[in-house]
Amino acid sequence: MAKTAVLALGGNAIIQAGQKGTITQQFTNTRESLEGVVDLIQQGYKLAITHGNGPQVGNLLIQQLAGIDKNIAPLPLGVLNAATEGTMGYMIEQSLQNRLYKNHINRNVITIVSQVRVDKDDPSILAPSKPVGPFFTQVQAETFAAKYGWNMVEDAGRGYRQVVPSPRPLEIVQAPTIKQLVEDGHVVIACGGGGIPYYLDADGNQEGLDAVIDKDFASALLALEIKADLLVILTGVEKVAINFGTENQIDLNEMSIEEALKYHKDGQFPKGSMGPKILAAVDFIQNGGKEVLITSIEKIVDAFAGKTGTRIHK
């Protein structure tokens, strides 16, 4: 039987460091990032693809602020999440569909704008921690904080970024439809940027929330809800490492969830980078998932073949 996998692409794969993020650059990066995905489809994998949206939604936030002086009403963050699901889903869908056509693979690629239920009383609402948008200098960060009330923090020594609430995902509305489409052989792009957060009010109605759901936690939940065999988290490094960036760096081929939690407790995986990926991997496995693979987009085919990457298991 064909295995089902959820592939989580990072938003930084679409807008790379140092780029302005023009649509030409984003399409170019998207096409390049899908090389290994086509290989997996040729191997028979049934796939759902998720993606981050940190740089993209951050740029939209800046555009909203720029429009205020022109008497254009700014859109809330939840609506901007929906917008990036559409625009980025379109880029990934078109680019992948063209690749499949070129390789004579008859598979449909479908984007689903996904709503994800959260708890309106989630502690993160009062303590924003999710980085979004581009990196800024300290002077720029102080200016945005003073002028617009943004919460700005230093991100792993790479500069300053805005942080917003990031509640944990509880349920994906469209998961049953996504599961059926994937089982039928379609490639589904879903939960972009973690999905659109909403909560249920006292009458059971859905209400949007100004927040960003972490893409890795949403991907883990999607993998559980569609009963995927494998969760693949694609990031900027080939393998997870401890003592990262030091002369004592050790790349890890595999980890048990106990080892992963111990390293996390010891501070090996920062909040703004590897930390959420490790915790999402642990969530997936503790709740019934079989295996998580973490690697870079460039090494995805070798990682699936067992030649590289970091595998987390029971």
**Residues assigned a catalytic role:** 11-12, 130, 215, 277
For every residue of 84-100, DSSP letters joined together read HHHHHHHHHHHHHHHHH
Judged on CB neighbours under 10 Å (0-12, 13-18, 19+), 313 is middle
The single-letter code of the amino acid at 64 is Q
- Residue 77: other Cβ atoms inside 10 A: 21
The amino acid present at 14, given as its one-letter code, is I
Distances (CA, A) of 224 to 79, 113, 219, 268: 26, 18, 9, 26
User: Could you give the CA distance from residue 285 to residue 234 in angstroms, rounded to a whole number?
Assistant: 17
Separation CA 233–CA 313 (nearest Å): 14
- In eight-state DSSP terms, residue 260 is H
CA-wise closest residue to 156 among 19, 275, 260: 275
Cα–Cα dist 168/200, whole Å: 15
**For residue 16, which phi and psi values (nearest 5 degrees)?**
-85, 160
Residue 284 has what DSSP assignment? H
In whole angstroms, give the CA distance from residue 77 to residue 210: 5
What is the Cα–Cα distance from 296 to 46, expressed in whole angstroms?
Answer: 20
State how far Cα 258 lies from the chain centre. Answer: 24
